Chain A
Amino acid sequence: MSTLQNSAPTTGTARPPNRSYLRQKLARPAILYLIVLTQIPVVFTLIYSFSNWNLLRPDRTRFVAFQNFVDFFTNPDMPVIIRNTLVFSLSIVMFSLIFGMMLALLLNRQFRGRGIARTLLITPFLIMPTVSAVMWKNMLFNPAFGLISSFLVSVGGPRIDWINTYPMFSIIVIVTWEWTPFMMLILLAGLQSLSQEYIEAAQIDGAGPIEIFLYIIVPHLRRYIEIGVLLEVLFVLNIFGEIFVTTTGGPAIDTTTLTFDIYKEAFLRWNIGRSSAYGVFAVILANIVTIVFLRITRSGTQQNKEAA
């Protein structure tokens, strides 16, 4: 009876139709809000991208068709920017995956102080990114007074100006420190959903720790790794504050990622047209990653439903 009413609520007599109607339409304000605030700006970005609008010379604005998109590929800086973006996001995701996996495995055991260890380990993720950036830049990486230099010098090592000598590496260190907890938490959730019996059975069969890790833990964690990697790629591609605070994209363009270049194009050169065109590429890139992410999560929920 109840399922019948569910599938055909308009014909049901137990519930007044107008009340059901309201209950079915509550998503509309939110959807409308999101369309206005997120989709309309994207349409504007697309429109601007076909113009040479520069806020410094607004009188010369005209339609330039695909010129800005052609610029993207002919811009001599672009290969460097793309390389920076790849090095930046891939190394951060890789390092945080490795460290996050190690920490998740260490935390997936019962011991005294486990709760405190986990709480301490997630904290870098919670610290405001600009706070992390000014702290690392001034107090850890500073060549004269920074803790890392002071320590190295006190043990007879060199005094290194980290941010100026190894700018990309320095930023990767900061962001990896911030994002490892994210990966750790996702992998830990995955490990906790793995039944201990499988591991014990494998141990009885004589499997060593490496075999258990490779043939039981990693396959079980596959979906968690995919979700963690894709989400982190999406977030890391948007990183701005850490680059702005530490190097402002420099020296020259050595730490300028696509995100940071769009910012420079828009707010330092006021080149609305070109930055919009580059922004279109950023949106397309993010959408591709999002679609892959949604595919994976949806297939996951379907599997869960079938299992249940």
Chain B
Amino acid sequence: MTSRKLGGHFLSVMTVVIAIVVFFPILWMVLTSFKTEADAFVYPPLVVFQPTLENYNIALAQSGYFRQLANTLAITGFSTAVALLLGVPAAYTLAFHPTKRSNFTLMWIMSTRMLPPVGVIVPLYVIFQNLDLFDTHFGMILLYTAMNLPLVIWMMHSFLSDIPYEILEASQIDGVTLIQEFRYIIVPLALPGLMATILLCFIFTWNEFFLAFNLTITKAAPLSVFIASFKTSEGLFWAKMSAAATITALPVVIAGWVSQNSLVRGLTAGAVK
């Protein structure tokens, strides 16, 4: 009995140790962002050091960082909002007024999400060049909305299906309008699901690189493209690179931590709850 208890404690300690090892590169990056460039290269890594905000000042003052931050915020925000406006009503119809084709429609919607970006990048590039959408916020918002829309529909379909139809039916007999139904019944009841959906859209859009890299240059380039520029020797300024990388990654990390309980449902399109 006691040996089993001891074994249990050992496993618990091991889990925490593994978690710290896995997390260590991130922790180290965050610590490095507060060091001077000289301290950043000291081995063994300094744990106690004089912290400085200098790197953040430099990273943020760097020409373009704020613009690319603004680009990322605008593109992420608008594409998530439009995807919700189109996707939540679609999920409503598919969940509460299904037809024979609804199942197929849902699967087709899923397949659009699984479309490999490399399969469409060439025509997108050509079309964007011809329609003056290349390197514009509008073009990126159009695309990211299409990327987020299947996610919104599948997730909201999964969450709305948990709402008993009788509630809607009762209110419809009382004569509520569609707008009222959404405002006073659907949105309040599905609010946790809605929040989780928003956070997932935010995570995917913020981190997206392939489309942004090929369809923007400077004017509408988001932070993922900016960070990739550290691939060259510039990356030897560890402290500055770490500062830029830390503030770029932080919003999504927080969003993910907050939404970790519904992360699985969103990632598997509701197949796993």
* A, B in one complex: yes
Residues of A within 8 A of B (CB): 2, 9, 14-15, 19-20, 22-27, 29-31, 33-34, 37-39, 41-42, 44-45, 48, 103, 106-107, 109, 111-114, 116-131, 133-140, 142, 145, 147, 150, 154, 177, 180, 182, 185-186, 188-190, 224, 227-228, 231, 234, 237-238, 240-241, 244-246, 258-259, 262-263, 266-267, 272, 275-276, 279-280, 282-283, 285-287, 289-290, 293-294, 296-298, 300-301
- B residues within 8 A CB of A15? 172-173
Q: Which of B48-56, B60-68, B121-129, B187-195 touches A? A: B121-129
Identify the closest chain A residue to B254 (Cβ): A126
Among B15, B124, B127, chain A packs the most CB atoms within 10 A around the CB of: B15
A128 touches B90 (CB 8 A): no
For B111, the chain A residues whose CB sits under 8 A away are 287, 290, 294
Residues of B within 8 A of A34 (CB): 109, 112, 146, 149-150
B12 with A134: CB separation less than 8 A: no
Q: Known contacts A2-B169, A106-B11, A139-B238; is A244 also within 8 Å of B213 by CB?
A: yes
Q: Are A137 and B248 in touch, CB under 8 angstroms?
A: no
Interface residues of B in 118-169 (CB under 8 A from A): 118-127, 142-143, 145-146, 149-150, 153, 166, 169
Q: Are B119 and A123 in contact (CB under 8 A)?
A: no
Taken together as a complex, chains A and B put the C-alpha atoms of A206 and B167 apart, in Å, by 50
- Would you call B221 an interface residue if the criterion is a C-beta within 8 Å of the partner chain's C-beta atoms? no
Alpha-carbon distance between A189 and B230 when the two chains are bound, in angstroms: 37
A38 to B142, CA, bound (A): 11
In the complex, which residues of chain B have a beta carbon less than 8 angstroms from the beta carbon of A106? 11, 14-15, 18
Are B28 and A123 interface neighbours, CB within 8 A? no
Binding site for A on B (CB under 8 A): 8, 11-12, 14-16, 18-20, 22-23, 25-26, 28-29, 32, 41, 43-45, 86-87, 89-90, 92-94, 96-97, 99, 103, 105, 107, 109-112, 114-127, 142-143, 145-146, 149-150, 153, 166, 169, 172-173, 177-178, 203, 206-207, 209-210, 213-214, 223-225, 227-228, 230-231, 235-236, 238, 241-242, 245, 248-249, 252-253, 255-257, 260, 263-264, 267-269, 271-273
B15 surroundings in chain A (CB, below 8 A): 103, 106-107, 111, 113-114, 117
Q: What A residues does B107 contact at CB under 8 A?
A: 294, 298
A39 to B227 Cα, complex, angstroms: 31
Complex Cα distance, B92 from A41, in Å, reads 28
Are B114 and A286 neighbours in the complex by a CB distance under 8 Å? yes
Asked if residues A154 and B44 are in contact (CB atoms below 8 Å), the reply is yes
Alpha-carbon distance between A26 and B93 when the two chains are bound, in angstroms = 6
| Sample of 4 further A-B pairs with CB below 8 A, known A34-B109, A117-B19, A128-B248 | A19-B172, A122-B256, A123-B23, A231-B268
* Secondary structure class of chain B's binding surface, majority of residues: helix
Pair A48/B206 contact, Cβ less than 8 Å:
no
Kindly identify which residue among A20, A22, A103, A189 contacts B273, using a CB–CB cutoff of 8 Å: A189
With A136-B25, A154-B44 as given contacts, are A38 and B115 in contact (CB-CB < 8 Å)?
Answer: yes
- A174 to chain B minimum Cβ distance, whole angstroms, is 10
- What's the Cα separation between A102 and B230 when bound, in Å? 34
Q: A117-B16, A120-B19, A123-B253 given as contacts; is B126 within 8 A of A272 (CB)?
A: yes
For A5, the closest partner residue in chain B by CB is B169
26 CB < 8 A contacts A-B:
A23-B93, A30-B149, A34-B146, A39-B112, A44-B122, A109-B11, A117-B19, A120-B20, A122-B260, A124-B23, A128-B224, A130-B224, A134-B241, A137-B235, A139-B242, A177-B22, A231-B268, A238-B117, A240-B117, A241-B224, A244-B213, A244-B228, A259-B116, A263-B121, A272-B126, A297-B268
Whether the Cβ atoms of A127 and B249 lie closer than 8 Å is yes
Inter-chain contact B145/A33, CB cutoff 8 Å = yes
- The chain A residue sitting closest to B99, CB to CB, is A24
Residue numbers in A under 8 Å from B245 (CB-CB): 128, 131, 134-135
- Residues of B close to A118: CB separation below 8 A: 19, 260
Whether A38 pairs with B146 at a CB distance below 8 angstroms is yes
Q: Which of B44, B124, B268 has the most CB of A within 10 A?
A: B268
Rounded to whole angstroms, the CA-CA distance of A131 and B229 in the bound complex is 10
Given the known interface contacts A122-B260, A138-B230, the answer about A25 and B122 at a Cβ–Cβ threshold of 8 Å is no
